[in-house]
Amino acid sequence: MTFQEQILQGIPDNLPPVKPYNPDINHAPKRKAILSPEEEKLALQNALRYFEPKHHETLLPEFKEELKTYGRIYMYRFRPEYEIYARPIDAYPAKTKQAAAIMLMIQNNLDHAVAQHPHELITYGGNGGVFSNWAQYRLTMKYLAEMTEEQTLVMYSGHPMGLFPSHNNAPRVVVTNGMMIPNYSKPDDWEKYNALGVTQYGQMTAGSYMYIGPQGIVHGTTITVLNGFRKINKSPKGHLFVTSGLGGMSGAQPKAGNIAGCVTVCAEVNPKITQVRLDQGWIDEKITDLDALVKRVKTAKGNKEVVSIAYLGNIVDVWEKFDEENIHIDLGSDQTSLHNPWAGGYYPVNMSFEEANNLMASNPELFKEKVQETLRRHAKAINKHTAKGTYFFDYGNAFLLESSRAGANVLSDHPSHGREFKYPSYVQDIMGPMCFDYGFGPFRWVCASGNPEDLAKTDAIACQVLEAIMKEAPEEIKQQMADNIQWIKGAQENNLVVGSQARILYADSEGRIKIAQAFNEAIAAGKIGPVILGRDHHDVSGTDSPYRETSNIYDGSRFTADMAIHNVIGDSFRGATWVSIHNGGGVGWGEVINGGFGMIIDGSKEAETRLKSMLFWDVNNGISRRSWARNDEAIFAIKRAMEAEPNLKVTIPNKVDDALMDSL
């Protein structure tokens, strides 16, 4: 069968042969056994409902063994025969380009070069799934192939509920992931209901089909590192950035360190993903011995090299060793998947990767104790370095939150509302006031033709647009504009593409709209093929996350999720091709609500109307919320937006004199 025929087949009438487990692929760790015997039966019934009764007798023992062996039913037998990657948009059997664009992005998320655990349909973060099983993938792709522009596909946490009648201006797909009743949103609830096959953790851009590989966060990390050095009044040259995590998005850290121009040490315990990052060129060197690491870092600092070094081992050993050797760390952070601390997101010290994975499955309570013990050691070592002048920031992975829950010494001696910890979230001190409050966030596009020449042309178009905007930009945002122009000019030489021909660029609503308009004009003129627009959920308006995206909201509303919900509702009727809303993300299940979108532009007048309406709302919804929280930068930005758009009228907060409050 051809690729197109296999897509149109969906779930096959005849069972495909059993596929052997491939040990060369980076697989998800075994999930802990959490279901009762009755719940195990329910999980099996839930899995079998995708298949005709004539196959149940064959599949039942197979799925039972998967549940026992892996803690989940992935339906490995139904993995497609064809290679999964982002094909040119015309390669997909679809009745509408909108559906084909979504198929392209789904396959990009599951590309072996992109996905963390591709056979388990997990894109990044240890548990960020596109689907829960291969039947869901097959059925979704079939529905998309059959879809017309008078239908909308409804996705319930990876499950394609079906095609429903709608209309041309409606989203083609509406996605929800993990939208639990609030009292059922603890970590073990995810383990249980995911094992039952009734919900999934879509992470942020995994379950919304908008992940573009580590590039997706390289730019944000580069901005963070650059501004981190600016905060401590140091040039990156010859100075040291220490962090951890090379899986999924955290693989962006060493590349960002290179672009910023510093010495980067990034620890990782997983040998497979470390080798992948080395082979992909995301790290320059791999070291497995601490003494050799110390020697290499001293040389790199002394020579003011720009180099990224992966240490294959536990980050706690690095912090402790550098303290003993008196190696000064200028910037410190962590990007292990601590939103998922008990299922492979963070590993105990003094234990091999294999030993830890075995303990995780065989004795989850002891594994949890070992993780929390390691977190206490980790924080203790960091505290020693910060006492020597290291600037440490939480990189939004729940490091400080989980460390505090483990009893580590990370709480502030003088807490205030929103500043509970010794160290700031990077959003509080860097990304929030410098980017999000002004409306700058991670705008993305994918060249649907798959042609690298199209990507080069879009880079040039975006650069021209930004340079023109910068000439008239107010002083308050010229640094952001300059950083982004520098970034896009170096995008090609930094070899950032993994998977689809994609690019990310921090831009405000003016920049996003003008860049998208310029793309649409180029498409209409036949200079480039169709373009898929999107963004990271980690943005101005997409995510309500009290310890990350909205951590610089100090009016008490950082624990509310109105912004993310309104964002998705507003995007859906302003022209998005697909929208998504998720429980859980980079900081954990139950800790965040985040929304995203995708939009294909094809050179038409209709596309121009949609992009103007949707992109303006998508950004200014968030600025208005940040303005109402009394953030000065956001007040400036929303007033500027109202001057540009007479139909925008936003309530501006009145400031209260501090002296009056002090008199209480």
The 3-state DSSP class for residue 383 equals helix
Q: What is the CA 445 to chain-centroid distance, rounded?
A: 15
- Residues 155-188: pLDDT tens digits? 999 999 999 999 999 999 999 999 999 999 988 9
DSSP letter string, 289-354: -HHHHHHHHHHHHHTT--EEEEEES-HHHHHHHHHHTTPPPSEE---S-TTSTTTTSS--SSS-HH
Nearest to 483 by CA among 518, 445, 511: 511
Give the rounded percent of residues in the chain with a pLDDT score beyond 70.
Answer: 100
- Residue 37 sits at φ, ψ, to 5 deg, of -55, -40
Helix (H) / strand (E) containing 657: none
Which structure tokens are listed for 222?
């580069």
Mean local confidence (pLDDT), 602-630: 97
Kindly report the average pLDDT of the chain as a whole number: 95
Q: What is the structure's pLDDT at 249?
A: 63
Per-residue pLDDT, 146: 98
What is the rounded average pLDDT of the residues 234-240? 96
Please tell me whether 65 is known to bind a ligand: no
Q: Specify the range with the lowest mean pLDDT, choosing from 140-144, 343-347, 593-597.
A: 343-347
In the predicted structure, residue 248 carries a pLDDT above the cut 70: no
Closest among 383, 263, 284, 266 to 330, alpha carbons compared = 263
pLDDT tens readout for residues 29-44: 899 899 999 999 999 9
379-396 pLDDT per residue, tens: 999 999 999 999 999 987
**Beta strands 411-416 and 331-332: pairing type?**
unpaired
Q: Mean of the pLDDT values across residues 641-664?
A: 95
- Give the tokens for residue 107: 């396959």
Closest among 547, 430, 549, 414 to 480, alpha carbons compared? 430
Q: What does the alpha-carbon distance between residue 100 and residue 112 come to, in Å, rounded to a whole number?
A: 20
Quote the CA–CA distance of 418 and 435 in Å, as a whole number.
19
pLDDT band at residue 494 under the 50/70/90 scheme: confident
The span from the CA of 131 to the CA of 177, in Å, is 10
On whether 268 is known to bind a ligand per the annotation, the reply is: yes
Question: How much is the average pLDDT of 202-230?
Answer: 90
How far apart, in whole angstroms, are the C-alpha atoms of residue 439 and residue 623?
6
Binding residue per annotation — 395?
yes
For residues 516 and 525, give the distance between their C-alpha atoms in angstroms, rounded to a whole number: 14
pLDDT band at 217 (very low <50, low <70, confident <90, very high): confident
70, 31 Cβ separation under 8 angstroms: yes
The confidence band for 497, taking pLDDT boundaries of 50, 70 and 90, is: confident
**Residue 157 falls in which region: left (phi positive, over 0), alpha (psi -120 to 50) or beta:** left
What per-residue confidence (pLDDT) applies to 552? Answer: 94
Residues contacting 584, CB < 8 A, separation 6+: 177, 178, 190, 201, 202, 203, 339, 590, 591, 592
pLDDT at 247 over 80: no
| Residue 486's pLDDT band (cuts 50, 70, 90) | confident
Yes or no: say if 556 and 417 are a contact pair by the CB < 8 Å rule: yes
Residues 6+ apart with CB under 8 A from 614: 570, 571, 574, 575, 576, 597, 599
